[in-house]
């Protein structure tokens, strides 16, 4: 029995053995020897230092849990560049297990892409790797770990690349990095999903979506549930995971300071979540969309937009007079939201999104199919109106 246990431990990745039993990592670099986050930004070369470490964090406001941070923060710091710069990014691994950083959406040499064992070697425990690549594009992007489930534990951050010639003159720019957070060990969540674990049903109960008999009868969904049962289909939901919090730049609520009425703001929104789609909607009329995944689009005004995982969108917003506007990101299953506020005065709150009718999900999906075009016109984004989805009153 002891021999089997030893063999099992040897087969486990080092990170799985140590990740939950440390605080502060095992840095071989003394704190005094750490270099500044931004070391150089001259002559077209922009040089950053990122220090990856284990930590404890109370993100949900409920309890401290094991987490991963870069430069002591979650999310990681924003990397700012200008199109044409050369990026030099030193990643220092202060943990007992390997890590990696992938530059999501950037066009760069294959060996600098950061996917371990595929394009780039992992950053070993106590080691350091320097990424060097030219920036041949502009826009809103992000970076994150591609090792195990480290991204879900906090290793993600934003990237802003300014164009050589700006398309819009604005008074202020602001990055809004959206994410979801679980207080569980991400490995436990993954195991629950893979094994159809009872915990996955517990997630539905915590969100109020468990399909009990009385609720099925109340919502006239019993026939639909029996039909799906014959197909060996479990109860349907829009998200399989319960999250303790949805975050805007690592907080439930974020604000843009030092704004004046009438100021134009370029809001760069990134969905850095593990598994959550977000409805983006505001409290002061339509949102003006100007960029998608780092590419400028023909400006279009929309009421709300469903944002997929890893997507980025840029919006132009105007600060209202004597009002505070809420820009809200609501989880697709309406189990929670994160908010950004800007302006001063009475709050213009975003209208709540109705809860989806999961008890008659087939009917809801059919309604979507009828109203969804055969071909999406991404240039105008006008087809992305989800208001026709049948929701629970």
State both tokens at 143: 């970076």
What are 91-109's pLDDT values in tens digits?
Answer: 999 999 999 999 999 999 9
Judged against a pLDDT cut of 70, whether residue 82 lies above it is answered with: yes
More confident residue, 129 or 197: 129
Gyration radius (Cα) of the chain, Å? 23
Question: The tokens 């302006």 sit on which residue?
Answer: 343
Question: The tokens 């999310």 sit on which residue?
Answer: 75
More confident residue, 81 or 372: 81
37 phi and psi, to 5 degrees? -55, -55
Q: Quick check: helix, strand or coil at residue 327?
A: strand
pLDDT confidence of residue 226: 65
Q: CB atoms < 10 A from the CB of 238, how many? A: 18
In the beta sheet, which residues pair with residue 325?
A: 342, 348
Report the mean per-residue pLDDT for the chain. 83
More confident residue, 98 or 364: 98
Nearest CA to 329 out of 263, 385, 389, 252 is that of: 252
pLDDT confidence of residue 6: 40
How large is the average pLDDT for residues 142-169?
Answer: 96
> Residue 66 in contact with residue 149, Cβ under 8 Å?
no
How large is the average pLDDT for residues 150-157?
Answer: 97
Q: CB atoms < 10 A from the CB of 207, how many? A: 21
Is 15-165 a CATH 3.40.50.300 domain? no
pLDDT confidence of residue 381: 44
pLDDT confidence of residue 30: 47
Nearest CA to 329 out of 347, 306, 360 is that of: 306
pLDDT confidence of residue 318: 95
How large is the average pLDDT for residues 333-347?
Answer: 95
Judged against a pLDDT cut of 60, whether residue 182 lies above it is answered with: yes
> Residue 62 in contact with residue 73, Cβ under 8 Å?
no
Judged against a pLDDT cut of 50, whether residue 383 lies above it is answered with: no
Task: Report how far residue 266's alpha carbon sits from residue 332's, in angstroms, rounded to the nearest whole number.
Answer: 24
Judged against a pLDDT cut of 50, whether residue 214 lies above it is answered with: yes
Q: Which of 142-151, 297-306, 308-317, 383-392 has the lowest mean pLDDT?
A: 383-392
Judged against a pLDDT cut of 90, whether residue 194 lies above it is answered with: no
Task: Report how far residue 263's alpha carbon sits from residue 316's, in angstroms, rounded to the nearest whole number.
Answer: 10
Question: The tokens 């109106």 sit on which residue?
Answer: 385
Judged against a pLDDT cut of 90, whether residue 45 lies above it is answered with: yes
pLDDT confidence of residue 356: 79
Per-residue pLDDT band for 213 (boundaries 50, 70, 90) equals low
Q: Which of 7-16, 92-101, 345-354 has the lowest mean pLDDT?
A: 7-16
Task: Report how far residue 328's alpha carbon sits from residue 274's, in angstroms, rounded to the nearest whole number.
Answer: 18
Left, alpha or beta for 2 (phi > 0: left; psi -120 to 50: alpha)? alpha
> Residue 309 in contact with residue 329, Cβ under 8 Å?
no
User: Is pTM, for the whole model, over 0.85?
Assistant: no
Question: The tokens 């109340």 sit on which residue?
Answer: 218
CA 93 from chain centre, in angstroms, equals 22
Judged against a pLDDT cut of 70, whether residue 13 lies above it is answered with: no
């Amino acid at each position: 029995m002891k021999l089997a246990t030893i063999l099992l431990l040897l087969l486990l990745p080092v990170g799985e053995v140590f990740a939950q039993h440390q605080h502060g990592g095992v840095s071989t670099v003394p704190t005094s020897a750490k270099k500044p986050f931004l070391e150089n930004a001259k002559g077209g070369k922009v040089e950053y230092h990122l220090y990856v470490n284990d930590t404890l964090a109370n993100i949900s406001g409920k309890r401290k849990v094991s987490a991963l941070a870069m430069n002591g923060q979650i999310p990681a710091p924003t990397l700012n560049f200008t199109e044409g710069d050369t990026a030099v990014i030193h990643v220092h691994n202060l943990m007992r297990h390997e890590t990696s950083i992938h530059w999501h959406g950037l066009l760069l040499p294959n060996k600098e892409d950061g996917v371990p064992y595929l394009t780039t070697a992992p950053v070993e425990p106590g080691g350091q790797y320097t990424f060097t690549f030219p920036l041949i594009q502009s826009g809103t992007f992000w970076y994150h770990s591609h090792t195990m489930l480290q991204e879900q534990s906090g290793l993600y951050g934003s990237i802003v690349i300014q164009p050589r010639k700006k398309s819009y003159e604005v008074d202020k720019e602001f990055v809004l990095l959206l994410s979801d957070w679980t207080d569980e060990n991400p490995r436990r969540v993954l195991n629950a999903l893979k094994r159809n674990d009872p915990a996955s049903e517990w997630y539905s109960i915590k969100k109020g979506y468990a399909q009990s008999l009385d609720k099925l009868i109340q919502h006239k969904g019993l026939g639909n549930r029996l039909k799906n049962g014959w197909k060996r289909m479990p109860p349907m939901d829009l998200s399989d995971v319960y999250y303790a919090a949805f975050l805007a730049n690592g907080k439930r609520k974020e604000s843009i300071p030092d704004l004046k009425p009438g100021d134009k703001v370029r809001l760069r929104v990134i969905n850095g979540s593990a598994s959550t789609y977000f409805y983006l909607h505001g409290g002061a009329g339509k949102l003006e969309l100007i960029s998608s995944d780092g590419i400028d689009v023909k400006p279009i005004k929309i009421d709300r937009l469903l944002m997929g995982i890893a997507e980025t969108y840029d919006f132009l917003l105007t600060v209202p007079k004597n009002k505070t506007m809420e820009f809200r990101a609501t989880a697709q299953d309406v189990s929670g939201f994160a908010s950004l506020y800007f302006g001063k005065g009475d709050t213009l709150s975003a209208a709540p999104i109705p809860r989806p009718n999961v008890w008659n999900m087939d009917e809801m999906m059919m309604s979507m199919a009828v109203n969804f075009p055969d071909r999406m016109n991404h240039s105008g984004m006008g087809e992305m109106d989800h208001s026709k989805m049948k929701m629970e009153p």
